[in-house]
Structure 1
């Protein structure tokens, strides 16, 4: 697929608004890693949060239907944002895009009809009024594209360009699987990190997320990564060797920042 900007669909209009609320748990880039997802959802602060925002790339992995069922069990507390993986699933399922490798064909095919409809309903972005932080915009890549990389190394000039069309001073993104919290000029740029496939310096078996309100807490949760690797192997994931390696020996943040900032648009 050629790299281009993939922003809100023409029919979406303004981002849906929620709140005010006291606490928001942010879980991004789950990639259908159910052991990690269940461990984070069992955290007391997540269970007590007013909303749980899933900031894109929920189902691109070994068990899409399981991930969807788990999120649906949260009822109205769950708010989902479309990632580039959800876009891929829709495009491949509808024939708008021909898979370029076996895994691109395999993952969408593991989505049941209900899961396809569910991920197809995700909006590009949402805004939540969080007490203590004010209006917070959530999007997977950037406010202008689901595949634009935002990292701790994103230059102020590009950050200003990508946020020129939004009013909120707090922006929460995903996509890069890097956890960070930084100020760029007058705006705050936050990434909760990845629940299912994080890039970090720590030992394997950690899921990354964030708790918003009244300030920002960057959090981690330990889980049994061996269970996730076994599930990938048992399912016959065509990318099992690469995914297992990333789970057990993650790329470093420095590597990802360098690659992402050079490419900017990463699908």
Structure 2
């Protein structure tokens, strides 16, 4: 599938160019929390996250068992937290504002677990932002790619496609989420970083591992241990209609090599 074959989901109408922040010394980067509260709280409790000037969350805050609780913890971070729109956030906001109709029982269930304030928050999330970070310069953050929130960037993304998707950015470092894969590579003359997923990672490590990154003055890929049993139990108590699939991903994550192969074949995935 190519860009010509799909509807791109870039900045909202009237959003304008990415807002710029900084300079700052350090940024903690989290992505794809997917409403996994035990994982999210464990990462937020990390001293380096608490000490960071900013906490950038690269989308997909929601689409998991405890979205309202996730929203409340983000609000509690105050102005330090800069959140971006992921494809899951877009879906939840569209259904929650009646711009689209839920296709499955789980979609309806997830959206119903948001307060009106949380839906409004998701609906107003920006598509991208740029932070000037000491040692790295301007860093561009988004969820999928700089041209769509559902385009996958992986460790296997060819340089030609990467050059195309990053052509319009004014930065030497591009930080994306969406693929749930943690990596740091140089491609097409830019540094491509994904902090990995906090709440639903694809990895070969031990279950109960949350992935994130610390930026400034370099790039440090980090992991944090959390109680995966608690996360599964909370999903059961919440009544998640797809709790078995959710728990299976947490306890037996997909192999990254398979995910890269599938992602590079599909390119765009909601």
User: Same-fold call, TM > 0.5?
Assistant: yes
Moved >4 Å (runs of 4+): none
In the alignment, the residues of structure 1 paired with residue 9 and residue 177 of structure 2 have an alpha-carbon distance, to the nearest angstrom, of 15
In the alignment, the residues of structure 2 paired with residue 198 and residue 4 of structure 1 have an alpha-carbon distance, to the nearest angstrom, of 26
In the alignment, the residues of structure 1 paired with residue 65 and residue 124 of structure 2 have an alpha-carbon distance, to the nearest angstrom, of 21
- What's the C-alpha RMSD, in Å, of the aligned pairs? 1.0
Q: Which residue of 1 aligns with 2:152?
A: 149
Q: Which residue of 1 aligns with 2:48?
A: 45
In the alignment, the residues of structure 2 paired with residue 70 and residue 103 of structure 1 have an alpha-carbon distance, to the nearest angstrom, of 23
In the alignment, the residues of structure 2 paired with residue 113 and residue 99 of structure 1 have an alpha-carbon distance, to the nearest angstrom, of 17
Residue of structure 2 aligned with 1:4, choices 4, 7, 17: 7
2:182 is the counterpart of 1:192: no
Partner of 1:71: helix, strand, or coil?
Answer: helix
- 1:166 is displaced (CA, Å) by 1.1
Q: Which residue of 1 aligns with 2:232?
A: 229
Bigger shift: residues 18-27 or 162-171: 162-171
Q: Which residue of 1 aligns with 2:17?
A: 14
Q: Which residue of 1 aligns with 2:111?
A: 108
Residue 4 of structure 1 contacts residue 265 of structure 1 at CA under 8 Å; is this kept in 2?
Answer: no
- Taking structure 2 as the reference length, the TM-score comes to 0.97
| 1:51-200 aligned within 5 A | 51-200=54-203
Bigger shift: residues 25-34 or 113-122: 113-122
- 1:94 is displaced (CA, Å) by 2.1
Q: Which residue of 2 aligns with 1:258?
A: 261
Unpaired runs of 5+ residues, structure 2, are none
- 1:3 is displaced (CA, Å) by 4.9
Unpaired runs of 5+ residues, structure 1, are none
Residue 97 of structure 2 contacts residue 119 of structure 2 at CA under 8 Å; is this kept in 1?
Answer: no
Q: Per-residue CA shift, 1:8-61, capped at 9, x if unaligned?
A: 112100111110000000010000101000000110000000000010000211
Residue 173 of structure 2 contacts residue 192 of structure 2 at CA under 8 Å; is this kept in 1?
Answer: yes
Q: Which residue of 2 aligns with 1:205?
A: 208
Q: Which residue of 2 aligns with 1:218?
A: 221
